[in-house]
Amino acid sequence: MAQKKLLTNGKAFKRTDDRWDGTVWYMDERGERKRKSFSGTTKAEVTKKMTDYVAVFNDALQESDESRKTLKESMTHWLQVFKFPSVERTTYDRCECTVEHQIFPLLGEKVVGDITAADLKELLNHWMGEGYAYTTVKKVYIVLNEYFRCLTQQEILAKNPMNSVPTIKKSNFMAAQNKEDLPTQETVTVFTPEEIEKFKSEAFSTYSNGKPKYQQPAAYILMLNTGLRTGELLGLLNSDINLEGRYLEVRQNVKEVCRREGTDYVPGREVKVGKTKTATSKRRVPLNEAAEQAVRKLRQERDFGPTTPLVSDEKGDYTRPVNFCKRYYRILKAAGIEQKGLHSFRHTFGSSLVNGIRQPDGTLMALSPRQVADLLGHSTSQITEMYYVKKDTTRLQGITDGFNF
């Protein structure tokens, strides 16, 4: 889309009937040449009409010129008009959070057309220097790049300043923070067998009067034995589980999003039930004995019927993810386990199945990465191996014994 602009300031000319005419040429939003005509009895009259029109035209341009607005005003408009309708609510919430906390504090009051590549690079360097995670700074880079690309596509800016801001390699980023850039497989967080036992002991503990310390602890054991995401677990209905067939069906996902009136933020959060993360996330997951027992325990504790969530709140509604997470972290702290995210249950499930579990006879029982990818709902086994399987070289012990050169 082109930007509306004046091509001439107008010129008065005398007609054959002694009246005066004038024409102002401009370009409209579609890039087409247009004209505005004026007439009068004298040259002064027509000239004044054209002068007044040009003044009003320029004032309107000034108001609508996105490049002369502050970054805060322009980017907020971009978020609401272009970003909000095209992404998931949780994605929009994260994007808005990035803009509010990492971009506006440093560049929010600067005029869009005056922002240079150096300004943008300084912003990224600032958050790197503050010790922020590589993923956080990368999100800032992605948002800025999308925004300025949108302005150049609309011809509001002639050039995208982000084209001159190269992405920094993760290894260089980590080195600048004096941190080691470990391979992804070594950064996967999993529970050790000892930690699992400590977690179970604390999760199912009771007070002196016999009352359980924690609600629905079996939900975490179900995650550990099925590899479900938090949202998938909380979205499970009782009707999605077939104990006789020993499987469950993942059909939907529960998220917690910011409350909004239209695109405007309203204080507070709400639960949103919707589609799964990806198309391959819809899947059938087999239940082992531990998973079956976890389902039965959850139903013994709370069961509001087949069309209600398996892991429900006290009223039979969907459990808020934030409450489920807080309960988990309380158990970790009480059990003396180093803090790790809920996703670690999913990582532990994937890693254990691929790396294998040592059997009493010394053999390893394991599944192929493709099988585990199907269980986790990944589209490719590469995702599973790269991000969900913790590197374990202990299983290589003795593997070269038969190769003597």
**Residue-wise pLDDT tens digits, 5-31:** 888 888 899 999 999 999 999 888 777
**Residue-wise pLDDT tens digits, 54-92:** 888 877 766 666 788 899 999 999 999 999 999 999 999
d(CA 12, CA 19): 10
d(CA 160, CA 57): 27
DSSP secondary structure, 111-133, as one string: BGGG--HHHHHHHHHHHHHTT--
- Determine the 3-state secondary structure of 163 from DSSP: helix
Q: What is the pLDDT of residue 322?
A: 95
Share of the chain above pLDDT 90, in %: 71
71-177 fold: DNA polymerase; domain 1 (1.10.150)
For the chain, the average pLDDT equals 91
- Mean pLDDT on 131-136: 94
Same fold, 71-177 and 193-388: no
Q: Which of 17-26, 188-197, 286-295, 385-394 has the lowest mean pLDDT?
A: 385-394
- Domains of the chain, by residue range, sit at 5-64, 71-177, 193-388
Q: Which of 112-116, 150-154, 361-365, 395-399 has the lowest mean pLDDT?
A: 395-399
> pLDDT class for 399, splitting at 50, 70, 90?
confident
pLDDT, greater one: 158 or 253: 253
* Other C-beta atoms lying within 10 Å of the C-beta of residue 197: 12
The answer on pLDDT for 232 being more than 90 is: yes
**Second CATH level (architecture) for the domain 193-388:** Orthogonal Bundle (1.10)
* Other C-beta atoms lying within 10 Å of the C-beta of residue 153: 11
**Residue-wise pLDDT tens digits, 354-371:** 988 888 887 778 899 999
Angle at 282 between CA 278 and CA 285, to 5 degrees: 130
The answer on pLDDT for 1 being more than 50 is: no
Q: What is the pLDDT of residue 2?
A: 56
- Mean pLDDT on 263-288: 93
pLDDT, greater one: 183 or 97: 97
Any idea of the CA torsion for 350, 353, 359, 365, to the nearest 10 degrees? -170
